[in-house]
C-alpha cells in the first residue's frame, strides 16, 4: 500500500476487523450504486472516502433546489448549472478521493441496460426511488449471484434488506410482487442518510472481509431514534430464488445462482 494511502486510511486500518488486508480488498472492489439522490449521496460519499476502488453510479436526473435538503453531495452551484446528478456527484467525489475510479452514467437503469451495469461489479447498492427498478435489481443480482442491499425511506421511516444470493432471502421472498406505484413520499432528511450509511457499512464489511451479508430486515424510525432488526427467512417457493427460480423470466431457469 502506498504511503499516502496508509495515511489517508490510517484510522480505519486500525480497526481489527478491517486491517491493511481489508483495506487492500476494498481497493480492488467495484460497486454499482443505482440512484444518486439522498441514499446514493450518503453511500457514494462513504464508499469513496473509505477507498472502494471503483464506483459506477447511474441517475438520469438533474440537481434541483428541492434535492438540497437531503442530498449531501450537491450544492446551489449544481442547481444553478442544471448539472446532471451523476456528473455533479463525480466532480464532488473526485475532489474527495482522486484514487477512486469513478464511472458516472447519466441514464435510467432498466431492463435494457441492467446486464451491462452489473458486469464487473462485486456488489450493488439500491439508492433508487422506483420499486419496479428494485425488483429488477433483485432478480438480476440473484441471477448473477451478486450481493445487493435494498434501501428505502418514507418520512422518518426507513427500511433495509441485505440480500446474499444463495444464502439469505431475496426481496421477492418477503414481498413476491412490487406494490402499486405511489407518488414521491415526504422525507425527513436524516432518514435516508442513516439508511444509506447503514447500507454502506454492510457493503464495506462484505467487501473487506468476504463475510456473507446477514439475512436481516432493518427498520428505522429516525424520529423516535430506533432501529429494529428482524430475522427473515428464505421462501423455498420464491419465484426468484426458490427451487423454481427464474421460471417467470425470459430464458427460464438459471442454475448457477446457487442454493448455498
CB of 147 to Zn ion, least distance (A): 14
> Which residues are bridge partners to 150 per DSSP?
161
Nine-digit cell string for 81: 448549472
Scanning 145-153, 160-168, 202-210, 239-247 for contacts with Zn ion by CB under 5 A, the matching segment is: 239-247
Nearest distance from C-beta of residue 138 to Zn ion, angstroms: 8
Cβ closer to Zn ion: 138 or 198?
A: 138
Please list the helix, strand and coil fractions of the chain in percent, rounded to the nearest 5, in that order: 40, 20, 45
Q: Which residues contact 56 (CB under 8 A, 6 or more apart)?
A: 30, 31, 32, 33, 103, 105, 117, 121
**Among 42, 153, 173, 202, which residue interacts with Zn ion (rule: CB under 5 A)?**
173
Residue placing its CB nearer to Zn ion in the complex, 8 or 172: 172
- Between 143 and 172, CB nearer to Zn ion: 172
- Which of 43, 238, 246, 257: binder of Zn ion (CB under 5 A)? 238
Q: Which helix (H) or strand (E) holds 218?
A: strand 216-221
d(CA 187, CA 124): 23
Q: How far is the CB of 133 from Zn ion (least distance, A)?
A: 17
List Cβ neighbours of 241 (8 Å cut-off, separation of 6 or more): 142, 165, 166, 169, 170, 172, 173, 234, 257
Give the binding range for Zn ion (CB under 5 A) out of 101-109, 117-125, 203-211, 241-249: 241-249
User: Which spans in the chain are helix H?
Assistant: 3-8, 10-13, 19-28, 38-50, 76-81, 85-96, 114-118, 131-144, 171-174, 190-209
Applying CB under 5 A, which part among 5-13, 81-89, 153-161, 237-245 lies near Zn ion? 237-245
Kindly write down the DSSP assignment for every residue of 143-167, as one continuous string. Answer: HHT--EEEEEEEBTEEEEEEE-TTT
Please answer whether residues 152 and 173 qualify as being in contact, where contact means their C-beta atoms are separated by less than 8 angstroms: no
What minimum distance in Å lies between the beta carbon of 136 and Zn ion?
14
Residue 243 beta carbon to Zn ion: minimum distance, rounded to whole angstroms: 11
Phi-psi domain of 107 (left: phi exceeds 0; alpha: psi -120 through 50; beta: other):
beta
Count of chain residues binding Zn ion (CB under 5 A): 6
Q: Which of 105, 160, 240, 257 binds Zn ion (CB under 5 A)?
A: 240
Among 29, 161, 170, 200, binds Zn ion (CB under 5 A): 170
Q: Is 241 in the site for Zn ion (CB under 5 A)?
A: yes
Nearest-CB residue for Zn ion: 238
Strand, helix or coil for residue 70: coil
CB of 241 to Zn ion, least distance (A): 3
Q: Return the range that interacts with Zn ion (CB under 5 A); candidates 88-96, 145-153, 169-177, 195-203.
A: 169-177
The label of the residue with cell 494511502 reads 5
Question: Which of 162/240 has CB closer to Zn ion?
Answer: 240
Binding to Zn ion by residue 172, rule CB under 5 A?
A: yes
User: What residues line the site for Zn ion (CB under 5 A)?
Assistant: 170, 172-173, 238, 240-241
Amino acid at each position: 500500500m502506498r504511503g499516502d494511502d496508509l495515511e489517508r486510511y490510517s484510522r480505519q486500518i486500525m480497526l481489527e476487523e478491517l486491517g491493511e488486508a481489508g483495506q487492500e480488498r476494498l481497493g480492488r472492489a467495484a460497486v454499482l450504486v443505482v440512484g444518486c439522490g439522498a441514499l446514493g449521496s450518503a453511500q457514494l460519499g462513504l464508499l469513496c472516502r473509505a477507498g472502494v476502488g471503483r464506483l459506477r453510479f447511474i441517475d438520469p436526473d438533474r440537481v434541483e433546489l428541492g434535492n438540497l435538503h437531503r442530498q449531501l453531495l450537491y450544492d446551489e452551484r449544481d442547481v444553478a448549472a442544471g448539472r446532471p446528478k451523476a456528473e455533479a456527484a463525480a466532480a464532488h467525489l473526485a475532489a474527495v478521493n482522486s484514487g477512486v475510479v469513478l464511472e458516472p452514467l447519466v441514464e435510467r437503469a432498466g431492463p435494457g441496460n441492467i446486464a451491462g451495469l452489473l458486469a464487473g461489479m462485486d456488489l450493488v447498492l439500491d439508492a433508487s426511488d422506483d420499486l419496479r427498478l428494485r425488483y429488477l435489481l433483485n432478480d438480476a443480482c440473484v441471477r448473477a449471484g451478486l450481493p445487493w442491499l435494498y434501501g428505502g425511506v418514507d418520512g422518518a421511516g426507513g427500511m433495509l434488506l441485505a440480500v446474499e444470493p444463495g444464502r439469505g432471502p431475496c426481496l421477492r421472498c418477503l414481498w413476491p410482487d412490487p406494490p402499486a406505484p405511489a407518488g414521491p413520499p415526504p422525507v425527513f432528511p436524516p432518514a435516508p442518510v442513516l439508511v444509506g450509511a447503514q447500507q454502506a457499512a454492510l457493503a464495506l464489511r462484505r467487501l473487506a472481509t468476504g463475510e456473507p451479508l446477514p439475512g436481516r430486515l432493518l427498520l428505522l424510525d429516525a424520529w423516535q431514534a430506533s432501529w429494529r432488526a428482524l430475522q427473515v427467512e428464505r421462501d423455498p417457493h420464491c419465484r426468484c430464488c426458490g427451487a423454481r427460480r427464474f421460471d417467470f423470466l425470459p430464458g427460464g431457469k438459471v442454475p448457477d445462482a446457487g442454493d448455498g
